[in-house]
Amino acid sequence: MKTVCLVAIGAVPEQVLEWVESAATEWCPWPVRRLPGRSLPEGAFDAKRGQYQSVEIMKAVASCRPEDAERILGVTEVDLAIPTLTFVYGQAQLDGPAAVISLCRLRQEFYGLPADESLLHERVTKEVLHELGHTFGLTHCAETKCAMSLATHIGLVDNKEERYCARCGRQLVKKFTSPDGESL
């Protein structure tokens, strides 16, 4: 039986994992299963930048994927970056099995504002949809309300809706139902 697995990398609040699980359950055709949490991989921290290397975290996520897991989604609290970019909200293997999202910059506290649970919930859902979409081969969408649109600052994340646009939605369904792809 095919599944989608979730894994916390480092400490992640239970509430957030529930949100991630519920978002993944709504959009994926397979049951969603939670794996035991993993600690942050050694050597992933870039002391000069005070951030974690997204690529290393991705490797850690991919390495704990069980055989039956079609997709594995990692969730972490730490701030992620890649060498050329100052930060990323998440990263995915395009048309591949693994993805990761970071909660750090989705929290209002990061911007010096009071915590906002419901806003965090919305942002987490959007990021889950976005990174999962990439693992199913979707690229960035020009429709700014679509979860697949590119967000380079938090305002653009908030501008999105918690859904795919019609075109991306159709592409996803096609992917799920294609004979050589992941059938339902």
Partner 1 sequence: MKKIWPILVVDDEDVMSESMAAWLREDGYRVDTALSGQQALELAKAMNYAICFVDLKMPGGMDGIETMMELRRIRPEASIIIITAYATVDTAIQAMKEGAQEYIVKPCHPQEISMLVSRILKLKKLQSENVILRKKISRQYRHRDIITKNTRMEEILSLTKDIASLRSTVLICSESGTGKELIARAIHYSGARAEKPFVSVSCAALTETLLESELFGYEKGSFTGAEGQTKGKFELADGGTVFLDEIGDISPKLQADLLRVLQERRFYRVGGTDEVSIDVRVIAATNKNLAEEVKAGRFRDDLYYRLNVIEIRIPPLRERREDIPLLVEHFVERIASELGKDISSISAGALKTLIDYDWPGNVRELENVIERAIVTSHNGTLVEADFAWLNQRNHPDQNWVVPDIPLAELERKAIIAVLERKGGNVREAAASLGIDRSTLYDKLKRYDISH
Binding site for partner 1 (CB under 8 A): 49, 53-55, 81-88, 91-94, 134, 139-140, 150, 152-153
Catalytic residue at 109?
A: no
Q: What is the spatial distance between Cα 143 and Cα 120, in angstroms, rounded to a whole number? A: 22
Residue 41: how many other CB atoms lie within 10 Å: 17
In the complex with partner 1, which residue's Cβ is closer, 82 or 104? Answer: 82
Contact indicator for 100, 61 with CB cutoff of 8 Å: yes
Q: What is the spatial distance between Cα 36 and Cα 120, in angstroms, rounded to a whole number? A: 23
In the complex with partner 1, which residue's Cβ is closer, 84 or 118? Answer: 84
Q: How far is the CB of 134 from partner 1 (least distance, A)?
A: 6
Residue 121: how many other CB atoms lie within 10 Å: 18
Q: How far is the CB of 56 from partner 1 (least distance, A)?
A: 8
Q: How far is the CB of 84 from partner 1 (least distance, A)?
A: 5
Catalytic residue among 26, 131, 161, 162: 131
Q: How far is the CB of 94 from partner 1 (least distance, A)?
A: 5
In the complex with partner 1, which residue's Cβ is closer, 21 or 100? Answer: 100
Going across the sheet that includes 3-9, the strands are: 32-34, 3-9, 69-76, 98-102, 90-92
In the complex with partner 1, which residue's Cβ is closer, 21 or 98? Answer: 98
Contact indicator for 7, 63 with CB cutoff of 8 Å: no
Looking at the annotation, which residues are catalytic?
Answer: 131
